[in-house]
Amino acid sequence: MMLASLHPVHHCPGRVRWRYQPGRAALDEAALMLAIRELAGVNSVRLNRRACSLIVEFDEQVLDALQLGERILALNPAPRSHAPLASEPATSRTRLAANVAAMLGVNLLPIPLRLPLSLLMTLPVLRHGVGELTTRGLTSHVLEAMAVSISLASRDYLAANTTAFMLELGEYLEDSISRRSDDMLRDLLKPSSDEIWVERDGVEVQVPASEVAVGDTVIVGTGMVVPVDGTVLGGEAFVNEASMTGESRAVAKQRGDAVLSGTVLEDGRIRIYAEHVGQRTAAARIADYVQQSLTAKSEVQLQASQLADQLVPRVLGLATGAFLLTGDGRRSAAVLQADYSCALKLATPVAFKSAMYAAGKAGILIKGATALERLAEADTFIFDKTGTLTNGDLVVTDSVTFDNAYSADDLICLAASVEEHYFHPLAIAVVEASRSIKGRHFDHTEVEFIVAHGVASEIDGKRIVVGSRHFVEEDEGIDISRHQAALHQLYLEGKTLLYIGYGGNLIGVIALRDTVRHESAATLARLRASGVKRILLLTGDHHDRAMELAEQLGIDEVFAQLLPEDKASIIEELTAQGARIAFVGDGINDAPALAGAHVGIAMQRGADIARISADIALLKDDISAVAQARELSCSAMSLIHDNYRLTLGANTAILGAAAVGLLSPIAASVLHNGTTIGILLNALRGRQA
């Protein structure tokens, strides 16, 4: 049975949710859901493997919840979705068993039967070698076929069968390790829903995922995967976002909160306004990146493959030389057992994929091996200021009144009363400050919003304006000259000023500042410890403000008062000077810089175009993930270089020992294949980084 037990969690008329315990048989979701749907009285089925949740809607006139549970537990459908995948390892194991039997029994057979059996067991090796020779030229498979042929010609049937067994065992384990590294990356993806519940004309209906459109209201309940990116319209729930952010704890979601596709609703029920659907969701984009990463090759992978191919003729030359000098065919066969191809070509991609898996589990999406390699190569890190090293959220630092009739708190409350209708960062900060002091609300007339300037209204018959200096001084004609000294001092402190005019006079200003992320200093220190030589800051802010942040965090160089296009120009200029730049940004105007850098990193709250342009996207709003990604990349490259040296050293030693007659063909085969498997297993260590 696929399910060992069902425990009711929630039951209402026509609907029941169970928490299930998997049975001994492998759980095939597709087969089980199909079998449940075919039960009499069942209307719909939803199963979430991660939450071990099963939800069934049924007709109570046909059966009750108890009867339904008993029938589900009795089901034992034949697995469907993974059968083709399972057959390949089974076939390989059958071939391995046959090779073992031939290797152990060949010398026990009558002499006339030894050659036919050996030819039968080594035929795949010989056929593969001939095929490679005629289509691709001299490769490692040709060397293996030559080694087997020499053993057969010299009637060393044990050596021929041992070689065939070791090659089959090596291929089986290499394929298993390679598939495992691919599967680790695919494990980062969450299954999409084929059917989605939406609200249409006030009625909840289930529709195919392809029919869901932007603007639809999507219903998600306990145990379900969120199928769209959007905003919660109503309801409350706890959502596990580990697949998207790396955060292991479930996060409470309520009206106004953002939710991402691919996350799992663990408890509760919410209505979501769909903002991104189908292939435009975060989960779909991540799926595309992961699929691309499984096939893309980095520079170091290409170099390893080229070196492996270049060494094949040298191994053949060594084997030929050994035979010409000694006339010993067994010695030549031993030399031909050891080549560099397998370990060099397979260990590098396995190490890359393992590191990318570890990064994905930590909330860091690395779009391919090339991005990982380039991040390790970067010697210069450039940060855009807002939203990266700073939180990107303004907070009120000062409330300065120029009219004794109003206190500092009154000033905040006046501004908040007219700003509360808008969602500009300045307005949000002022309203939050008013709430923190539990300030009073001033009644006012309809608020007028002037784009890029401020807001205006009337309180007690007098006009109140809140906004920029240009708006208050030039558009509204309010004199601010008397307060120039105080205003200039706040400006030098790196603060943003919100001017408040009431009744034609400037009654005060509210100063705000973007706060530095508490982990920024530690992140920069970790980057330096990982070998980064220079750290720079780019910003459109005033130079004095930027220098203050640079001194606080220990940044080497500052470029301030920049236009958006200046960032890409600076990166181009530094690249021309030989710098390998990693750029960290989040805004729409950062996209050219992200694309032009040696490697681009986009913050979690970044604009869509920035995240698309970047080579690495952070799935959690944490600047320390930049340092974590750098450390993972350096660790992966170190592991790759270690495996590279180990491959060359071990196989060169085996070749040397075989050439001088210290190793038999059997010993050379065992040592070579054992070394290759060990190196591949070592490459998997990157997933634990």
- Average pLDDT value for residue range 544-565: 85
DSSP 417-460: HHHTT---HHHHHHHHHHHHTT------SPPEEETTTEEEEEET
For the chain, the domains span: 3-81, 88-190+281-363+632-689, 195-224+228-278, 364-390+519-630, 391-515
Among the residue ranges 68-77, 235-244, 382-391, 536-545, the one predicted with the least confidence is: 235-244
CB atoms within 10 A of CB 206: 15
Cα–Cα distance, 266 to 279 (Å, whole number): 24
Spatial separation of the C-alpha atoms in residues 582 and 584, rounded to whole Å: 7
Fill in the amino acid letter for 231.
T
Of 619, 623, 584, the closest CA to residue 604 belongs to 619
Return the pLDDT at 606: 61
pLDDT for position 104: 87
What is the predicted pLDDT for the residue at 80?
43
H-state helical runs in 268-340: 282-293, 299-326, 329-337
- Residue 78's pLDDT band (cuts 50, 70, 90): low
Q: How far apart are CA 559 and CA 539, in angstroms?
A: 6
H or E element at residue 502: strand 496-502
Band the pLDDT of 86: cuts 50, 70, 90.
very low
Which CATH architecture fits 391-515? Answer: 3-Layer(aba) Sandwich (3.40)
**pLDDT band per the 50, 70, 90 thresholds, residue 242:** low
Is the distance from CB of 540 to CB of 562 less than 8 angstroms?
yes
Burial of 85 by CB count in 10 Å (0-12 exposed, 13-18 middle, 19+ buried)? exposed
Q: What is the DSSP letter of 531?
A: T
Q: What is the pTM of this model?
A: 0.62
Query: What would the mean pLDDT of 328-343 be, rounded to a whole number?
Result: 84
> How do strand 390-401 and strand 264-276 relate by DSSP bridges?
unpaired
**Cβ contact 299:370 at 8 Å:** yes
Average pLDDT, the chain: 83
- Of 312 and 457, the one with more pLDDT: 457
The 3-class SS string of 472-498 reads: HHHHCCCCCHHHHHHHHHHHHCCCEEE
Asked if 185 and 354 touch (Cβ cutoff 8 Å), the reply is: no
Q: Tell me the mean pLDDT in the region 403-409.
A: 93
Q: Alpha-carbon distance 509 to 478, whole Å?
A: 13
The rounded distance, in Å, linking the Cα atoms of 116 and 123 is 10
Instruction: Give the mean pLDDT of 300-327.
Output: 84
Q: Which residues contact 461 (CB under 8 A, 6 or more apart)?
A: none
Would the pLDDT of 81 be above 50? no
Rounded-to-integer distance, Cα 661 and Cα 402, Å: 96
The secondary element (H helix, E strand) that includes residue 552 is helix 543-553
Percent of the chain with pLDDT over 90: 31
How far, CA to CA in Å, does 588 sit from each of 493, 602, 612? 27, 11, 11
Residue in the structure block whose two tokens are 């939180």: 391
Q: Give the contacts of 490 (CB within 8 A, at least 6 positions apart).
A: 398, 400, 497, 509, 511
Q: Look at residue 110 and give its three-state secondary structure.
A: coil
- Residue 644 contacts by C-beta under 8 Å, 6 or more apart in sequence? 304, 344, 347, 348
Ranked by mean pLDDT, the top range of 5-14, 282-291, 494-503 is: 494-503
Task: Give CA–CA dist 305/669, Å, rounded.
Answer: 21
Highest mean pLDDT among 3-12, 78-87, 140-149, 464-473: 464-473
Q: Are 359 and 686 in contact (CB under 8 A)?
A: no
Find the range with the poorest average confidence among 180-189, 266-275, 405-414. Answer: 180-189
689 has pLDDT over 70: no
Phi/psi region, residue 454 (left: phi>0; alpha: psi -120 to 50; beta: rest), is left
The helix (H) or strand (E) run that includes residue 584 is: strand 581-585
Catalytic residues, by residue number, are 384
Joined together, the tokens standing for residue 478 give 């309010």
pLDDT tens digits, one per residue of 603-662: 877 655 556 667 888 878 889 999 999 999 999 999 999 988 998 899 899 999 999 999
Of 372, 162, 608, the C-alpha closest to 364 is 372
Using the predicted structure, report yes or no on whether residue 336 has a pLDDT greater than 60. Answer: yes
In 3D space, the residue among 98, 103, 181, 171 whose CA is nearest the CA of residue 141 turns out to be 171
**What pLDDT was estimated at residue 681?**
83
pLDDT at site 246: 46
Q: Residue 429 — φ and ψ, nearest 5°?
A: -65, -40
Span 132-145, mean pLDDT?
A: 81
- The one-letter code for the residue type at 150 is I
DSSP letter assigned to residue 90: H
Q: Supply the pLDDT for residue 89.
A: 58
359-368, 402-411, 483-492, 546-555: range with highest mean pLDDT:
402-411
- Taking residues 562-572, report their average pLDDT: 82
pLDDT confidence of residue 614: 78
Percentage of the chain modeled with pLDDT above 70: 85
CATH H superfamily, domain 364-390+519-630? HAD superfamily/HAD-like (3.40.50.1000)
pLDDT at 591 over 90: no
Q: Is the pLDDT of residue 491 over 90?
A: no
Out of 45-54, 323-332, 375-384, least confident range: 45-54
Dmax over Cα atoms in the chain, in whole Å? 115
Mean pLDDT lowest among 33-37, 70-74, 252-256, 301-305: 301-305
Which of 215, 554, 187 minimizes the C-alpha distance to 357?
A: 187
Q: DSSP string covering 124-143, please?
A: HHHHHHHHHHHHT-S-HHHH
Those residues whose C-beta lies under 8 Å from the C-beta of residue 576, and which sit 6 or more positions away, are none
* Banded pLDDT at 297 (limits 50, 70, 90): low
Q: 195-224+228-278, which class in CATH?
A: mainly beta
On whether the 3-81 domain is CATH 3.40.1000.10, my answer is no
Q: Which amino acid, 216? A: D
C-alpha 66/C-alpha 529 separation (Å) is 62
Q: How far apart are CA 265 and CA 239, in angstroms?
A: 4
Helix (H, G, I), strand (E, B) or coil at 223: coil
| Nearest-angstrom CA–CA distance, 238 and 420 | 29
Average pLDDT over residues 372-380: 94
